[in-house]
Amino acid sequence: MKPFITNRKRTAFYVLESGIMESLKTRPLPVLEDLATSVFELKQKGRMLTVDIRKDPSIFRTNVNIIELDLGEVFSG
């Protein structure tokens, strides 16, 4: 498993349902967030999607921690 995890050319995305993760007895979410390079929390309310950047190396350069998108504008067509 170590060659798989330490491969710098590998990019992986994991989508976790926080409600399910928080309901588990072992509470793995804080450990997984600590291990991850980046952590984003997505919330949708109506047509608005909010991306809360909870952990990301680029946050120090960009000083952006929340992105809001109007899904109606993104997917209009």
Question: Edge-to-edge, what's the strand order for the sheet holding 39-45?
Answer: 39-45, 48-55, 66-70
pLDDT bin (cut points 50, 70, 90) of residue 77 is low
CA 15, 10, 55, 64 dihedral sign is negative
pLDDT bin (cut points 50, 70, 90) of residue 12 is confident
Read off the pLDDT of residues 52-71 as tens digits, 9 standing for 90 and up.
999 998 888 888 899 999 99
Mean pLDDT of 10-33: 88
Domain residue ranges in the chain? 2-74
Does the pTM of the predicted model rise above 0.75? no
| 16 pLDDT more than 70 | yes
Task: Collect all residues with Cβ–Cβ distance below 8 Å to 28 and sequence separation of at least 6.
Answer: 21
CA 49, 55, 56, 60 dihedral sign is positive
For the chain, give the longest Cα–Cα distance. 45
